[in-house]
Amino acid sequence: MKIVADSKIPFLSGVFEKFGINVLYKTQISREDVIDADALIVRTRTICDRALLEGTSVRFVATATIGFDHIDLGYLSENKIGFSSSAGCNARGVAQWVLAALREMNIPKSSVIGIVGVGNVGSQLSEMAEKRGWKVLRNDPPRAKKEGNLEFVELDTLLKCSDVLTMHVPLNESTNGLVSAELLEKFRGSCFLNSSRPAVVDEDALLSSINNGKLSKVAIDVWKNEPEINKNLLDKVTIATPHIAGYSKRGKVRATEMAVRALSNWFNLDYELKNWKSPESYKMEEPEYYDIMVDDENLRKNPSSFEDLRNNYRYR
Residues with catalytic function: 197, 226, 243
Phi, psi for 209 (deg, rounded to 5): -65, -30
DSSP result, 46-105:
S-BSHHHHTTS---EEEESSS--TTB-HHHHHHTT-EEE--TTTTHHHHHHHHHHHHHHT
Q: How far apart are the first and last CA of the chain?
A: 34
- Cα distances (Å, whole numbers) of residue 152 to 120, 136, 137, 143, 210: 15, 10, 7, 8, 28
Beta strands in the chain (DSSP E): 2-6, 22-26, 39-42, 60-63, 82-84, 112-116, 135-139, 164-167, 191-194, 217-220, 239-240
191-194 vs 217-220, strand pairing mode: parallel
Measured distance CA(88)–CA(134) in Å, rounded: 23
Decide: 10 and 25 in contact? Cβ < 8 Å: no
- Cα distances (Å, whole numbers) of residue 67 to 111, 120, 122, 147, 252: 30, 12, 14, 23, 14
Measured distance CA(103)–CA(57) in Å, rounded: 49
